[in-house]
Amino acid sequence: MGIVTENKNTKNAILFVDDESIILMSMKSQVRQHFGEQYKYLTAENAREAWDLLLELEEEGSSVSIIISDWSMPGMNGDEFFRKVHHSYPNIEKVIVTGFADQKSIEDLNSEIGPIVFLKKPWDEKELISTISHAMLD
C-alpha cells in the first residue's frame, strides 16, 4: 500500500497583499481565470495579515510561491514587508505593484533583496500573468 497524499494541501499558493479590497479581488480573479485550480489564491489586506498567512501555511506544510504586494499600505509598506519575508523565506518570488514608489527606493530594495519584479498601477493583465508564469517556472 502506498501513502496517499492529499494534493489540495500541498498546492502552492499565490498571495496577494493590498489594502484596497477591490484591487485584491480584481487581481485574484484575473490570475485565477488564467491558472484555474493549479494554485491556492490567498489575499491579505495588510502586511501583518499576510505574515500570519505565511506562518499558517507553513504549519500546514504548504508554501507560498509568489507574493504580489502593493507598495504603499498602512502599518507596514510593501518594501518593509518584503525585507521581512526575504529574511525568513528567501525563495518566495516577490512582485511589487505600485503607483508611487520612487526609482531610488525601487533600486535600493532590488539590490538588497532582489530580484523583485515591479509592476505599475494600473497593472496590465498580460504582464501580471506573464510575471507569475515566469516566477512559477524558476
CATH of the domain at 61: 3.40.50.2300
Does a structural domain hold residue 5?
no
Does a structural domain hold residue 119?
yes
Does a structural domain hold residue 4?
no
Q: Average pLDDT per run of 10 along the chain, which is 138 residues long? A: 46 93 96 95 98 94 94 94 96 91 87 91 94 86
Segments forming the whole domain that contains residue 38: 11-137
In this prediction, residue 135 carries a pLDDT of: 86
In this prediction, residue 38 carries a pLDDT of: 92
- Total number of domains in the chain: 1
Rounded CA-CA distance 49/47 in Å is 5
In this prediction, residue 10 carries a pLDDT of: 58
Classify residue 14 as exposed, middle or buried by CB count within 10 Å of its CB (0-12, 13-18, 19+): buried
Which cell numbers hold the place of 22? 477591490
In this prediction, residue 137 carries a pLDDT of: 80
Residue type at 40 in one-letter notation: K
